[in-house]
Structure 1
């Protein structure tokens, strides 16, 4: 499979939306083309640029796509950061898709974006052609980042976030230092509590595994080899979910081993 660079022809635009009575300004990157579009949802502490290389890879030449900075993240603007949670992110995704006129699509989501994507796919399964879940939450054990809102509580959002960043920097997982270095530039501290508490609530009580296994589309669960200990992997495999184990990677394959990550995504989506 060729992964040589191709000409980067993308559209950078900022769209204005009102979701859950919250005013949003979201920077987007997209491309028109042929075939079903790919919709990319980034994780907590990341931005749309996690996926920007899709426009430079020959395996995706001509494929339309869209990615955006989630509310409270990247270069987005949000009139009420305390309102940012997974339900708002899901309805934001719906609004972005409507703005782009996208009906049916392939879905790729990482971590927080994987959980957002799962909730979107569960609510509108007829629209999703395939779903690549990159270590998105499907069980309580996946809250190793978000559950810190309870295990390391604090009233000051900026102090909590500073301590969270330091814990991330010291993590033994691949790319943790790289991830931690940009966190304060990519996430507004006031948005963290709503995001994390909703992620924990859904992971503990939202029946996520049943939702994931119940999707009618083709599904892939991608994980870094450092997380091969996840207890539910045999259950996913037995249910027919494609497992993609990324070598020399932990929770952030787009930083640790993007070549294998993109190879796996391209092969899974195919020419549909």
Structure 2
């Protein structure tokens, strides 16, 4: 199913010195085949003795959302992996129309298997949070903890893309989505909108959007998240504090983390507070924070 992986030797150097795996971040290109589709996945990793943190970015963002982990003293020496999803960032996909959320989940599993990662902690934002949720639900024994950064859990999380797809006027849905973000008030919306055309391929947009809506409406996502028998944190910006399901998450033992001066993109609007809050979650003994899993 999977082909060989390669690492660009030029990317393995900082200031002319080789970066030993396990000590410095290594940039790689992983050649994979998922559902018969050829992929070239751009990834960054750092090895170590502990179980890694796997970071999954959101729609229209990239692995670089998380590479500041190498600058954070509270994560010094911590092993990690982050990568650009198919159709995003520097990754390449031979069939953009094949990309939907189940495809992203299978790609994540292929990346983890190629990297030799058995058990891991996961941090996922937005679409990456949805991908991580479905992967953890499928293989709960591999996931040690889950930081969900405003991941899709309910139909209310899809209002923006639902409106764009239901638009009756002809035109490019992706451009309408970008323009709506650019004009909407809110933290980091303009920055996000400016980056979108450069971070995601248009050919993947429609199938991803429709897949997210289908799962939000019929995928029982909130219940799946609550039922995961691992330490969990739901992190969101203050602009998202009115989400209807936050009290339910709190009642079922999910740690809530509200980041001030931010909205859907706390890592853009308030990265210092976001990283500090994630670091606090990983400090100490996570085994003491396993919530009771109950159905609602």
Matches of 2:123 and 2:182, distance apart in 1: 26
Asked if the contact 1:34/1:62 (under 8 Å) is kept, the reply is: no
Q: Structure 1 residue aligned with 2:273, among 256, 260, 270? A: 260
CA distance in 2, matches of 1:38, 1:51: 11
Q: Does 1:215 align with 2:228?
A: yes
Q: 1:151: which partner in 2?
A: 166
Aligned residue for 1:30, secondary structure, equals: strand
Q: How far apart in 1 are the matches of 2:163 and 2:26?
A: 37
How far the C-alpha of 1:155 sits from its partner, in A, is: 6.7
1:34 CA drift (Å): 2.5
Ranked by relative contact order (alpha carbons within 8 Å, sequence separation 6 or more), the top structure is 1
Q: Which residue of 2 aligns with 1:134?
A: 149
Q: TM-score normalized by structure 1?
A: 0.94
Q: Structure 1 residues 52, 93: closer, same or farther in 2, change over 3 A?
A: same
Q: What TM-score comes out, normalization by structure 2 length?
A: 0.86
Q: Does 1:45 align with 2:86?
A: no
For the 8 Å contact 1:222–1:243, the answer to whether it is kept is yes
Q: 1:153·1:160 contact (CA, 8 Å) conserved in 2?
A: no
Could you give the per-residue CA deviations for residues 127-165 of structure 1, whole angstroms, max 9, x where no partner exists?
Answer: 111100000011110113332453226776xx2212211
Match of 2:256 in 1: 243
Which residue pairs with 1:63 in the alignment? 78
For residue 28 of structure 1, report the CA deviation from its aligned partner: 0.4
Check whether the contact 1:247–1:257 (CA below 8 A) recurs between aligned residues: yes
CA–CA distance in 2 between the matches of 1:75 and 1:153?
A: 33
Contact 2:263–2:269 at 8 Å: present in 1 too? Answer: yes
1:195 aligns with 2:212: no
**Structure 2, unpaired ranges of 5+:** 1-18, 286-296
Cα distance, 1:171 vs. partner?
A: 1.5
Q: Match for residue 218 of structure 2? A: 205
In 2, Cα distance between equivalents of 1:127 and 1:208: 19
Q: How far apart are 1:271 and its partner, in Å?
A: 5.4
C-alpha distance in structure 1 between counterparts of 2:170 and 2:46, whole Å? 42
Q: How many residues align?
A: 264
How far 1:20 sits from its partner (Å)? 1.1
Structure 1 stretches of 5 or more lacking a match? 1-6
- Aligned-residue Cα RMSD (Å) equals 1.5
Alignment of 1:174 with 2:187, yes or no, is yes
Query: In terms of mean alpha carbon deviation, does 79-88 or 262-271 score higher?
Result: 262-271
Q: Does 1:26 align with 2:41?
A: yes
Q: Secondary structure at the match of 1:119?
A: helix
- Aligned to 1:9, what secondary structure does the other structure show? coil
**Deviation by residue 1:218-252 (Cα, 9 ceiling, x = unmatched):** 01000100111100110000001000000000000
Question: Who is 1:231 aligned against?
Answer: 244
